[in-house]
């Protein structure tokens, strides 16, 4: 059993984040591991790592794209709610989420928890948390402003998108382990011109915020 498991999606992010987080993780008696790219592998790998390390808490750290003007590129934030876009029926303007179809993502037979398109990573959420700290997990990053519009139509409170947090959060909730999700904003969602991105600043900001959470 360890104090904290720090999950980083990709080897690229790990290369940048590990030197910035190694001391804090060591002092907290924690471990850093990659969980993989995308919602499928991230959920599977997280479940494996939870079984191996049995952490008391998990922190997911990486980059994300801003869905609106609330989060400037190069900043980082912690998200209190994680939504899922892409599981359901149809596409584009015809897309219906799993909840709209009447299907929960999962129902816990032991505790009776039922999870739809939105999950709170904390086991006991703070009722005072802002609804505007919602991260949207997607299977494919937005490729245009039209993609962004479709997503915000379903989840108007989402302020950023990533590709792992929802499945990591679900794996942690199934194991009854609290999760903190921190993302650095590397770009505006829908903008695929990497000349406009600032990944380094996003990861540095995410590492600074994560280091504080690791030691608290």
* Residue spans of beta strands (DSSP E) within the chain: 4-8, 31-34, 57-66, 76-79, 81-85, 88-89, 96-97, 106-107, 114-115, 118-119, 134-138, 158-162, 179-188
DSSP one-letter string for 85-121: ES-EE--GGG-EETTTTT--SEE-TTT--EE-SEE-S
Q: Residue 127, class by beta-carbon neighbours within 10 Å (0-12 exposed, 13-18 middle, 19+ buried)?
A: exposed
- Does the structure show a pLDDT above 90 at 79? yes
Q: What percent of the chain has pLDDT over 90?
A: 88
What whole-number distance in Å separates Cα of residue 113 and Cα of residue 128? 21
CA atoms within 13 A of residue 22's CA, in its CB half-sphere: 6
- pLDDT for 110 equals 81
DSSP 189: T
Answer yes or no: are the C-beta atoms of 85 and 138 closer than 8 Å: yes
Going from the C-alpha of 57 to that of each of 49, 60, 134, 172, the distances in angstroms are 12, 10, 20, 9
For the segment 98-109, the average pLDDT, to the nearest whole number, is 91
Look at the alpha carbons of 124, 39, 67, 216 in this order and tell me if their dihedral is positive or negative: positive
Other CB atoms within 10 Å distance of the CB of residue 89 = 12
The pLDDT value given to residue 111: 77
pLDDT digits (tens, 9 = 90+) for 180-211: 999 999 999 999 999 999 999 999 999 999 99
Q: Which domains does the chain have, with CATH numbers?
A: 4-214 (3.40.50.1580)
pLDDT tens profile 133-156:
899 999 999 999 999 999 999 999
Contact 209, 78 (CB under 8 A): yes
In terms of C-beta density within 10 A (0-12 exposed, 13-18 middle, 19 or more buried), how is residue 68 classed? middle
Structural Rg of the chain based on CA atoms: 16
Q: In this predicted structure, what is the pLDDT of residue 142?
A: 98
What integer pLDDT is reported at residue 125 of this predicted model?
A: 62
Q: What is the mean pLDDT of residues 16-27?
A: 98
pLDDT in tens, 36-69: 999 999 999 999 999 999 999 999 999 999 999 9
Question: How many residues does this entry show for the chain?
Answer: 216
């Amino acid at each position: 059993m360890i104090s904290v498991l720090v999950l980083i999606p990709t080897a690229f992010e790990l290369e940048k984040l590990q030197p910035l987080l190694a001391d804090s993780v060591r002092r907290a008696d924690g471990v850093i591991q990659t969980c993989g790219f995308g919602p499928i592998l991230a959920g599977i790998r997280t479940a494996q790592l939870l079984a191996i390390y049995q952490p008391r808490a998990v922190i997911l750290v990486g980059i994300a794209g801003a869905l609106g003007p609330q989060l400037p590129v190069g900043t980082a934030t912690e998200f209190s709610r994680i939504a899922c876009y892409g599981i359901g029926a149809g596409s584009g303007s015809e897309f219906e989420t799993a909840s709209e179809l009447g299907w929960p993502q999962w129902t816990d037979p032991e505790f009776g928890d039922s999870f739809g398109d939105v999950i709170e990573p904390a086991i006991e959420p703070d009722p005072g948390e802002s609804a505007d700290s919602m991260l949207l997990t997607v299977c494919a990053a937005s490729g245009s402003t039209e993609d962004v519009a479709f997503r915000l139509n379903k989840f108007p409170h989402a302020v950023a998108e990533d590709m792992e947090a929802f499945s990591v959060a679900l794996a942690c909730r199934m194991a009854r382990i609290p999760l903190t999700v921190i993302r650095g904003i590397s770009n505006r969602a829908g903008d695929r011109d990497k000349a406009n991105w600032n990944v380094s600043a996003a990861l540095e900001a995410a590492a600074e915020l994560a280091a504080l959470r690791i030691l608290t």
